[in-house]
Chain A
Amino acid sequence: MAELDLAEVGLRAVNQQLHALSRESNDLDWRLLNPLGRHSIAVGLDAPAKVTVEGHAGFYCGGMNKQAEIIIEGHAGPGVAENMMSGTVRVKGNASQSAGATGHGGLLVIEGDASSRCGISMKGIDIVVGGSVGHMSAFMAQLGTLVICGDAGEALGDSIYEAKLFVRGKVESLGADCIEKEMTPEHLETLGSLLERAGIDADPEDFRRYGSARKLYNFDVDHADAY
């Protein structure tokens, strides 16, 4: 395992070394020491590396990740794993707002709570939150799955498109065009598989499913007050 100390070599050098990795690299297992809340740690990775951030990260940690498995052994700032394409980002602690924003693929696991706008504009990413999420989560969510093992704040799934939402706890309120939907065996299987991949022990039967009513997909003057 290779180690890099952010306090010693700095962010630029760390990211440069991680960007240089490829599938053929000799050592794909890295530990990043002393993150100290720095921003943009391990962004833009494109190799099947395992990168462990030993502490708290600032904004956008793991942003636009492809292939890599990134583990944050602490809390994460806003926009963790934003626009992730593939791979995994796991936050052992809590995450700030906009976790997984616009993510196109891959899996984001937040073992603690996530703040507001978790999964905003998600486009195919799967997000599993061990705790609760804040308001406006999954706003304009287009594709992918958001699993919330705790509670959801106000306006969950506002203006949602085709993303799937599963919530085990209570939902403060649903946003525009978001409704509760039937949980079919297929959904239970999907959810169970995701929870297993996330390493979170929860019974899919305890969850409720939410998604788009699709009433706002084409403008209708009689729905104008819903926009």
Chain B
Amino acid sequence: MDPDTPRTTPRKSALFDDYTLSEIRRAASTGIYDIRGGGSKRRLPHFDDLLFLGASMSRYPLEGYRERCDTGVVLGTRFAKTPLELKIPITIAGMSFGSLSGQAKEALGRGANAAGTSTTTGDGGMTPEERGHSKQLVYQYLPSRYGMNPDDLRKADAIEVVVGQGAKPGGGGMLLGQKISDRVAEMRTLPKGIDQRSACRHPDWTGPDDLEIKIQELREITNWEKPIYIKIGGARPYYDTALSVKAGADVVVVDGMQGGTAATQEVFIEHVGQPTLACVRPAVQALKDLDMHRRVQLIVSGGIRNGADVAKALALGADAVSIGTAALVALGDNDPHWEDEYRQLGTTAGAYDDWHEGRDPAGISTQDPELAKRLDPVRAGRRLANYLGVMTLEAQTIARACGKTHLHNLEPEDLVAVTVEAAAMAQVPLAGTDWIPGRGY
């Protein structure tokens, strides 16, 4: 070819991008779907697509750091004799011992205690260390019932019946053999080293009518003292919230698709469920339609990262939020300090998500005692407490700017959206207009 003839620049397909091509090659080579941890990595409408309208003339702001803006929340006021009283409306989401190291669980407890909030167990039961280091501990009641024990039910401060998870609504747990150590195997009554598959639905109830009876049983066993949460994956938030209320929940936890997981199929994480932003208003609407808003508390989770996310979720009607992935990052997960080791694992700090392999250089999502030792639970707990404190301060700063004396006084009127999609999902006006998609003018 004549060297002077212009050549077309090679063009890669937007559809078959490098990641997609590599995944096709990986699937062809291994014969198994990709499994990873974390939540959805694709760009989805999120709280970033909302903005607060600070006060000017038509609203009256509060003095930053001087005038009071309260942050406390009480969870479980509907039926429970002893609701959970938290200093901040940010809780730590359920993450299992097994998925996480004992050091990581201890650090979560220490951080939460210092910040005045609760932690949550996960698939695999309650460890003495976890109970010992968490002043307020929510005990998850999962389909697998691994380690399920009435003594632990009675030791818990609240019980969370897990029906679904944002990263995988309709999917069951997955913990690969690499992480089934002697202790994890004993807690789960499984042989060591197997790929543990746990059921996607509870073994002894099949719908909300049954769940109502199941919840009655849990209340009877625990003397009607503990708040009962129901956690649902963000798929059909209006109906699932309504049915959770019907089943007797004190608290409903709605986990959007940016919510994390220890391990599941990539295709599940990225293609099942709805963005967290899209789940909040339907859940709130369900509570309002049943005259249960604020009487049954709503916790929203799935990609909550900073005080702005907290404030926005609360403004849309949530009573509290829950964090998982962000809490792990605060402990030290994906820290650039371990970059050399992340490289050896074929990834980079910030992108490491093979938590199921148990080789986490940060010592958090592992059962390898040598790796786990790297995490100092006292220092990591301090980092988490700092992070929770910053999130709270950020949310308070925003709330004061909107003239609110409590974070719960934030409201949808304080928000606008910068995209049509977010305006529709959050049911707030598109910025610069009075238009809420779906409602007309």
Contact = CB atoms under 8 A, between A and B. Distances in A.
Interface of A: 11-12, 15-16, 19, 39-40, 43-44, 46, 58-60, 63-64, 66, 78-79, 82-83, 85, 97-98, 101-102, 104, 117, 120-121, 123-124, 139-140, 142-143, 159, 161-162, 217-219, 221-222, 224
Contact of B150 (A44, A123, A124, A140): A44
Given A104-B149, A104-B189, 6 more contacts: A39-B213, A59-B210, A97-B204, A161-B190, A161-B191, A217-B195
B217 interface: yes
B214 A140 contact: no
Interface in B200-228: 203-205, 210, 213-214, 216-217, 220-224
Contacts of B193: 218
Nearest to A121: B203
A83 to B, nearest CB: 5
29 contacts: A11-B220, A12-B220, A15-B220, A16-B223, A19-B223, A40-B217, A43-B217, A43-B221, A44-B150, A46-B151, A59-B213, A59-B217, A60-B204, A82-B204, A83-B150, A85-B149, A85-B150, A101-B203, A102-B148, A102-B204, A121-B144, A121-B145, A123-B189, A161-B190, A161-B191, A162-B191, A217-B194, A217-B195, A218-B193
Contacts of B222: 44
A104 B144 CA distance: 12
Q: Provide the main secondary structure of the chain B interface.
A: loop
Nearest to A99: B204
Given A40-B220, A117-B203, A140-B199, A102 B145 contact: yes
Contacts of B224: 12
A64 B150 contact: yes
A142 B216 contact: no
Q: Provide the main secondary structure of the chain A interface.
A: loop
A63 B205 CA distance: 13
Contacts of B223: 16, 19
Given A83-B150, A102-B203, A159-B197, A123 B145 contact: yes
Given A78-B210, A121-B199, A219-B195, A64 B145 contact: no
Contacts of A117: 203-204
B214 A60 contact: yes
A43 B189 CA distance: 23
Nearest to B30: A221
B31 A224 contact: yes
B217 A218 contact: no
Contacts of A140: 197, 199, 203
Given A98-B204, A140-B199, A142-B189, A46 B217 contact: no
Contacts of B190: 142, 161-162
Interface string B150-183: 1101000000000000000000000001000000
A39 B191 contact: no
Contacts of A44: 150, 153, 220-222
In the A-B complex, the 10 residue pairs with the smallest Cβ-Cβ separation, listed nearest first, are A221-B31, A44-B221, A79-B204, A102-B145, A98-B204, A64-B150, A217-B194, A101-B204, A120-B203, A123-B189
B32 interface: yes
Given A11-B220, A12-B220, A162-B191, A66 B203 contact: no
Given A43-B221, A117-B203, A83 B148 contact: yes
B203 to A, nearest CB: 4
Interface in B1-35: 30-32
Contacts of A143: 189
Given A16-B223, A83-B145, A104-B189, A39 B203 contact: no
A66 B150 contact: yes
B195 A40 contact: no
Given A39-B217, A64-B150, A123-B189, A79 B205 contact: yes
A120 B204 contact: yes
A159 B195 CA distance: 12
A58 B217 CA distance: 11
B404 to A, nearest CB: 41
A127 B165 CA distance: 32
A101 B145 CA distance: 10
Contacts of A159: 197
B195 A63 contact: no
B203 A98 contact: yes
Given A60-B217, A140-B199, A218 B150 contact: no
A82 B193 CA distance: 27
Nearest to B191: A162
A120 B195 CA distance: 19
Contacts of B204: 60, 78-79, 82, 97-98, 101-102, 117, 120
B217 A219 contact: no
A217 B150 contact: no
A40 B216 contact: yes
A149 B317 CA distance: 56
Nearest to B188: A142
Contacts of B188: 142
Contacts of B151: 46
Contacts of A97: 204
A199 to B, nearest CB: 26
